[in-house]
Amino acid sequence: MLSQITRAARSGFALNIKRPSRLAQHIRPFATVEGNTPRVQPTPSRTRATPKSHDRATFTIRDGPIFSGKSFGAASNISGEAVFTTSLVGYPESLTDPSYRGQILVFTQPLIGNYGIPSAARDEHGLFRYFESPNLQAAGVVVADVAEQYSHWTAVKSLGEWCAEEGVPAVSGVDTRAIVTYLREQGSSLARITIGEEYDADQDEAFVDPEQINLVRKVSTKAPFHVSSATGDYHVAVIDCGVKENILRSLVSRGASVTAFPYDYPIHKVAHHFDGVFISNGPGDPTHCQDTVYHLRRLMESSQIPIMGICLGHQLLALAAGARTIKLKYGNRAHNIPALDRTTGRCHITSQNHGYAVDSSTLPSEWKEYFVNLNDHSNEGLIHQSRPIFGTQFHPEAKGGPMDSSYLFDMYLENVSRYHKSQAIFQPERENRPSPLLVDLLSKERVGVVPTTGMENLLRMGGAGQETAKAASAA
């Protein structure tokens, strides 16, 4: 396994391996999984930071209304897809969710920021305790009212200070009710935030559609990384399409060490070294990930390994099975969406963040619908009729949101355990535990992921920036 991963790394990925010292060469054979190099998060780059702005701000929906307000974030002009969330809490988790990459997030909750932004504290696994990725992922933030004065024992800064540090513009003092009403009637729309300038209709051509860009490429690790579990013997391969920290935590806390691979890694070539494969959440149109779909199809044809997918991972699993996906009018982004388990008749309140869904009418006969959305009746899950493969459109790991459906991780790990035991019987010489050498060599962190720039900074581009932005985003 080590040779396969390192060969792939040499061909396209940088593992940043340093030549070991003479002392390290003697110590290396005694390395253990539990005692491997701690997972250390890098200090976030502040190259995007700007002074906190309180200038006039304009939120413009393409071919739609214009809203004037006040800036409380970075002095930066951006373009993206305007979407809304009805979540009442959890804005630090939402804004760091890679699934929001390229989107301007409108909060329906009237007051945002009253409990500030927590520190970058880490848990016992080296994962962020309060964030879902190292950086703020949304392109922009729009709220009715922002709390400049915050109060919470975990808080270290205000929402405005955080946005300015991360280079993300934010607007307050606008009628978010009118914005949401428009988006519900017209659907998710392209929009932009302009700081300190009057609206200029001639610059409409500068709107950039993030749906035309492979956003997964931007948020996925560029080389494998590893997170160890000290409580179990399982080893799961995660296809990182923009994985949330709490998905990794939900696996390692249940006894599964995780090796995460780039979204387009040929996972079928190394799956026999693992006890399970997991496909993460991520941003954008799933049809951009054709390599991932092909590799998953090959995996299901050649292996009986348990597979689970969440959100975008669920959609990619459906595409690999032969189904189709559709774009929803305005998507589902909330922490209180009811999903019906069609196998038990039970309803779960779920956390969701997606603009696409699986067309359940196109599922092949060996698959069946697992969950259905009780609000709009869209598909919320699929499950194979006879194999340990399933996916959910909602987020059982929450962060934020309810934990009603977290039992699905237990169900997945039960599948992993059965597969692990069966492989031990038929292949007693098989070693699935990650090699200590492999653990030491692999990064403990996402590799080469560049922070968001909000679909390029329109302040630099002006009205002729659309083609430049597309070219830069495709790079």
Supply the residues annotated as catalytic: 311, 395, 397
Residue type, 107: F
- Closest C-alpha to 65, from 220, 182, 232, 239: 182
Collect all residues with Cβ–Cβ distance below 8 Å to 13 and sequence separation of at least 6: 222, 223, 224, 262, 447
Look up residue 407 and give its DSSP letter.
H
Collect all residues with Cβ–Cβ distance below 8 Å to 27 and sequence separation of at least 6: none
Helix (H), strand (E) at residue 409: helix 407-426
Strand partners, 105: 83, 141
How many CB atoms neighbour CB 45 within 10 A? 13
The answer to whether 154 and 50 are in contact (CB under 8 A) is no
245-252 helix and 407-426 helix, angle to the nearest 10 degrees: 50
Q: Token pair for residue 26?
A: 């003697």
CA–CA dist 325, 68 (Å, integer): 36
Q: How many residues does the chain have?
A: 475
Cis peptide before 69 (omega within 30 of 0): no
